[in-house]
């Protein structure tokens, strides 16, 4: 989590190295992460596509040592500076297989958001995440004073997974103390399993060997060397306040270390918590929508990006853990209609006939994630999205 230091809240939380063109150590294989940006705006506040693209560019330059100011890293720390070789690209295909810009926009009556995850919950005017096994979800919204952003760590519940950033500092605006898009760099670092340098407690550990232990956060624009906050003689050069995982102003942070790079990239190794993103279809071609057949369960459902078609049926609870109930209170009966449940990648995981206008289904064996219930066929079909916790 990144906050104005004067408004601190409780804090949350391989391949070999090669030499990059700028001389800093770099991982060899490029990891590409599809991104979807969910903009929640009011009538008076919004953000342009251009500013969103500037933030994607800021993520790419800063994660890959392409930021011009990386040469300002003091020589004593320069030898451990790392280049992640992680690239961020706006998604081209949504979870339903349709073409997308990688940007969703939702007008919400709520003017201000905090770090309670309601921005991710449609029941509170938020937007549910796209499948976190295939996308990095970023929510952009107006946030309470003092809070710049927060992120979920790997292994968080699927319906909470992603990064939330304050709208006024999203993108490289060049304005103010946080105008270089580095709050998002910091928060995506958390999403990739990096901790604050002080381990969120006095003289704590960030579990990375090449970042000097420090007593607490730094703020503003410190001068090097920043001596006096270290926790032992093993920190003779002072704090690495220019690291993206401290709390300094954007212009004062400019590097990740090789150890931090290894920690982030390990998420994509076999068994790693972000491994599935490497097989995401989000950067391919839109799928061809096809009905189910006896020969194949590989079905892609056409689903509106923000949820469902004009409803004649309702699904609850949502999110759900063990069972879902689908009911219709309208004149048009759904009894006798076909239904099928599809995973986010288009596979049919359950199907059958609707037995009544109020029927329940057991989903306890489903993996956590986003699913779609299709009721009926062709022009009369309805699709309802739900989250399995």
Q: Which residues are catalytic?
A: 187
DSSP letter string over 276-304?
GGGG-STTSPPPPP---BTTB-B------
Alpha carbons 193 and 246: distance in angstroms, whole number: 15
**Which residues are registered as beta bridge partners of 352?**
339
Tell me if 88 sits within 8 A of 62, measured CB to CB. Answer: no
State the Cα–Cα distance between residues 85 and 31, nearest whole angstrom: 6
Give the DSSP H or E segment for 375: strand 369-375
For 389, counting Cβ atoms within 10 Å of its Cβ (0-12 exposed, 13-18 middle, 19+ buried), the class is middle
Cα separation, 166 vs 164, in Å, equals 7
Place of tokens 């392409």: 66
CA separation for the pair 85, 326 (Å, rounded) = 45
State the CB neighbour count (10 A cutoff) for residue 35.
23
236 three-class SS: coil
- On whether the CB atoms of residues 287 and 93 are closer than 8 A, the answer is yes
Phi, psi of 279 (to 5 degrees): -110, 15
């Amino acid at each position: 989590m990144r906050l104005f230091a004067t408004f601190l809240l409780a804090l949350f939380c391989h391949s070999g190295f090669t030499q990059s063109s700028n001389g800093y150590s770099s991982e060899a294989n490029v990891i590409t992460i599809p991104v979807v940006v969910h903009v929640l705006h009011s009538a008076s506040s919004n953000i342009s596509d251009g500013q969103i693209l500037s933030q994607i560019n800021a993520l790419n330059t800063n994660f890959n040592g392409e930021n011009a100011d990386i040469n300002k890293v003091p020589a004593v720390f320069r030898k451990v500076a790392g280049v992640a070789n992680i690239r961020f690209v706006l998604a081209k295909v949504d979870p339903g297989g349709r073409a997308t810009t990688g940007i969703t926009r939702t007008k919400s009556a709520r003017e201000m958001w905090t770090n309670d995850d309601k921005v991710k919950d449609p029941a509170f005017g938020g937007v549910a995440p796209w499948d976190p096994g295939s996308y990095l979800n970023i929510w952009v919204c107006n946030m309470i004073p003092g809070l710049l952003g927060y992120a979920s760590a790997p292994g968080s519940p699927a319906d909470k997974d992603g990064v939330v950033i304050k709208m006024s500092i999203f993108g490289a605006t060049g304005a103010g103390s946080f105008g270089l898009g580095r709050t998002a760099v910091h928060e995506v670092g958390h999403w990739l399993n990096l901790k604050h340098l002080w381990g969120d407690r006095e003289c704590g550990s960030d579990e990375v060997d090449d970042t000097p232990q420090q007593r607490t956060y730094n703020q503003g624009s410190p001068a090097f060397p920043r001596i006096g906050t270290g926790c032992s003689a093993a920190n003779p050069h002072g704090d690495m306040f220019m690291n993206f995982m401290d709390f300094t102003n954007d212009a004062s942070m400019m590097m990740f270390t090789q150890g931090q790079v290894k920690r982030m990239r390990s998420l994509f190794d076999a068994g790693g918590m972000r491994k599935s993103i490497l097989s995401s279809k989000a950067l391919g071609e839109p799928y061809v929508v096809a009905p189910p057949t006896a020969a194949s369960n590989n079905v892609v459902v056409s689903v509106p990006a923000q949820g469902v078609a004009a409803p004649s049926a309702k699904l609850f609870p949502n999110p759900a853990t063990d069972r879902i109930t689908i009911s219709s209170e309208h004149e048009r009966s759904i009894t006798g209609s076909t239904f099928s449940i599809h995973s986010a990648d288009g596979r049919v995981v359950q199907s059958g006939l609707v037995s009544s206008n109020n029927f329940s289904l057991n989903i306890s064996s489903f993996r956590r994630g986003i699913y779609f219930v299709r009721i009926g066929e062709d022009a009369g079909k309805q699709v309802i999205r739900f989250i399995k916790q």
